Amino acid sequence: MIWDDAAHITPQNLRSWEGLWRTWFDLGATQQYYPVLHSAFWFEHRIWGDSTLGYHLMNVLLHSTAACLVAVILRRLTIPGAWFAAAIFALHPVHVESVAWMSEQKNTLSAVFYLSAALVYLHFEQKRRPALYVLGLGLFSLGLMSKSVIATLPAALLVVFWWQRGQLAWKRDVVPLIPWLIVGATAGLFTAWVESTYNGAAGDDFQFTLLQRNLLAGRIVVFYFSKLVWPVELTFIYPRWTIDSATAWQYLFPLGVIAVLAWAWLLRRRNRGPLAASLFFIGSLVPALGFLNVYPFIFSFVADHFQYLASLGIITLLAGGITAALARMPDTVRSAARAIPFVIVVILAVLTWRQSRMYRDAETVYQNTLSRNPNCWMAHNNLGNLLREEGRNEEAIPHFETALQLKPDSYRGHYNIAQALRDENRIPEAIAHYQKAIELDPKSIEARNNLAILFEKTGQLPQAVDTLTGALQLNAGVSGTHYNLGRVLEKLGRMPEAMTHYEQALKLKPEYTEARNNLGIVLGRSGRMDEAVAQFEAALRLDPNSASSHFNLALTLSALDRSQEAAPHFREARRLNPSLVPPR
């Protein structure tokens, strides 16, 4: 798994039928509100669980299906080189990211719906059967609920109809697609709202003037075109450009795009293909051109998977142009020239095979990224996390430090280095970074809980109480926060308050064994021995191998003069943890 795969592959709390319901009707239950995608992940998890092979095979199957649909659509449109274009789409290295990255099943799944809806609509456009219209709109809607980037489909269909006929008729071409345009625009705007509200696509990193956004859009278009025709130095995270409206050369990108469109417009009377391909390419990129904020813009404005569908415009133009040119060649050279498509496909296949090796594992992805983009704070941060999870803190901490040098205002950077420093018992440094993380994100419950644990560990109990109380003011529904606060209050001798928080933790999470055990201890110290026994027994029903629960129950039973009942619990506690009950 890499980066956010663990967040997309169905988490434990959503693996039930209730979890499937929440996927559809609880906004925020999943990382992004794409219920069809997350339902697919839910069913896949039922089939092959956490095995990554199944998800990778599904992505390959979906991508292959999309390539076949490309060929069928292009043949229906009588565009030359249909299977050549499909082969390029299937084997182009810029698509490795969409297929190798499990989270990007959103790309491959939505592409199948997009292309299926397009094919059905092309049938409707000829036969005008209402059933075909409804089916196409249904497929389009399912695709939007897999990834809303396909909202550009109705505009793409209008480009296709203009390419076919040279003009658009309002009643015949535009009116039937108005509902599609409305549905697509609604889905796109809703996703933009979710990105800013739930996924952090807001703040200083997204503050651009309209002029800057136009400069950015021009540069993005040129970048994606260049990677399509010359797919080298592809990487997982590209450098984040500095967009400066005072820098003259940055205007060359949008001016170049305008010049190409003007050339294609002038050429349209002889050949509408270049203009149609350009409009399809740029139009399909609109959601990723910088006019709408998406979270990845915080570290890069471009990513290979953003042009997954858009690439079809340029691929179709090139494949069709090469095929048509070969057909016009003299017979004496045509037989030899027929090898050109084969050579192109083989070259792409080799490049794709080499690119795929980058996704062998997460560490390889981030090491490769840093070799090509050494100032990528996100890669340093993610690689540091990976190393820390493997217990390699000495290697992880320098990556966190570099990430913070590159982006000092990163909440996640401060939180992650605090975790690593805590693991290394560098407590004062860890406390400082947790405090900075909370300063950057005052709503962070996780940082407050971890900071409070370190305050408790260093004897700063009043500070721990204040930190946890602040966390509960933000969200009183976190059982762990109540448990942590109960433990600190218990150390301060404030037993009634500690008891209240342990009880609240159990109300939120009845299977919380540690909270039951601690509640039992507080009840015992308060003289409520029978209630304490009940809590220890309940804890043992949840975890029969809890040495501390056996020991505490034995002590309480002894205090009640029930030594005969206490003896087996002392023995079990000694067996599970010899240091807890030394032999007599």
Nearest CA among 174, 139, 143 for reference residue 157? 174
| Residues 141, 146: Cα–Cα separation, whole Å | 9
For residue 286, give both structure tokens: 């609109």
Residues 6+ apart with CB under 8 A from 219: 241, 243, 250, 253, 254, 301
DSSP secondary structure string for all residues of 78-107: T-TTHHHHHHHHHH-GGGHHHHHSGGGHHH
Residue ranges in 269-410 assigned as alpha helix (H): 273-285, 311-327, 331-337, 339-356, 362-372, 377-389, 393-406
Cα 174 to chain center, whole Å? Answer: 35
pLDDT for position 582? 56
Nearest CA among 9, 109, 13 for reference residue 51? 9
Global pTM reads 0.86
As its CATH architecture, domain 364-532 has Alpha Horseshoe (1.25)
pLDDT for position 581? 59
Whether the CB-CB separation of 192 and 165 falls below 8 Å is answered with no
DSSP secondary structure string for all residues of 460-484: -HHHHHHHHHHHHHH-TT-HHHHHH
Residues 6+ apart with CB under 8 A from 239: 300, 373, 375, 376
Give the helix/strand (H/E) hosting 253.
helix 252-267
pLDDT digits over 249-274, tens only? 999 999 999 999 999 999 999 999 99
For residue 345, give both structure tokens: 């496909």
Nearest CA among 135, 12, 122, 141 for reference residue 75? 122
Cα 359 to chain center, whole Å? Answer: 16
Cα-based torsion angle of the residue sequence 475, 480, 483, 489 in order, rounded to the nearest 10 degrees: -60
Whether the CB-CB separation of 274 and 320 falls below 8 Å is answered with no
DSSP 8-state symbol, 172: I
Integer angstrom CA distances of residue 249 from 222, 256, 278, 334: 13, 11, 23, 43
pLDDT for position 9? 86
pLDDT for position 50? 86
Whether the CB-CB separation of 452 and 460 falls below 8 Å is answered with no
| Residues 372, 363: Cα–Cα separation, whole Å | 14
For residue 538, give both structure tokens: 């309940």
| Residues 119, 135: Cα–Cα separation, whole Å | 11
User: How many other CB atoms are there within 10 angstroms of residue 412's CB atom?
Assistant: 20
Nearest CA among 430, 426, 428, 446 for reference residue 438? 446
Q: Where are the domains of the chain?
A: 5-359, 364-532, 533-584
Same fold, 364-532 and 533-584: yes
Which residue type, as a one-letter code, is found at position 154?
Answer: P
For residue 156, give both structure tokens: 């793409």
For residue 384, give both structure tokens: 């540091």
| Residues 287, 151: Cα–Cα separation, whole Å | 9
| Residues 79, 71: Cα–Cα separation, whole Å | 10
In terms of C-beta density within 10 A (0-12 exposed, 13-18 middle, 19 or more buried), how is residue 330 classed? exposed
Query: Tokens 């037993």 label which residue?
Result: 495
The tens-digit pLDDT sequence of the chain (584 residues) is 777 788 788 888 889 999 999 999 998 888 889 999 999 999 999 999 888 899 999 999 999 999 999 999 999 999 999 999 999 999 999 999 999 999 999 999 999 999 999 999 999 999 899 999 999 999 999 999 999 999 999 999 999 999 999 999 999 999 999 999 999 999 999 988 888 887 777 777 788 999 999 999 999 999 999 999 999 999 999 999 999 999 999 999 999 999 999 999 999 999 999 999 999 999 999 999 999 888 888 889 999 999 999 999 999 999 999 999 888 888 777 777 788 999 999 999 999 999 999 999 999 999 999 999 999 999 999 999 999 999 999 999 999 999 999 999 999 999 999 999 999 999 999 999 999 999 999 989 999 999 999 999 999 999 999 999 999 999 999 999 999 999 999 999 999 999 999 999 999 999 999 999 999 999 998 899 999 999 999 999 999 998 989 998 989 998 888 988 888 988 888 888 887 755 55
User: How many other CB atoms are there within 10 angstroms of residue 373's CB atom?
Assistant: 19
Domain 533-584, CATH class in plain words? mainly alpha
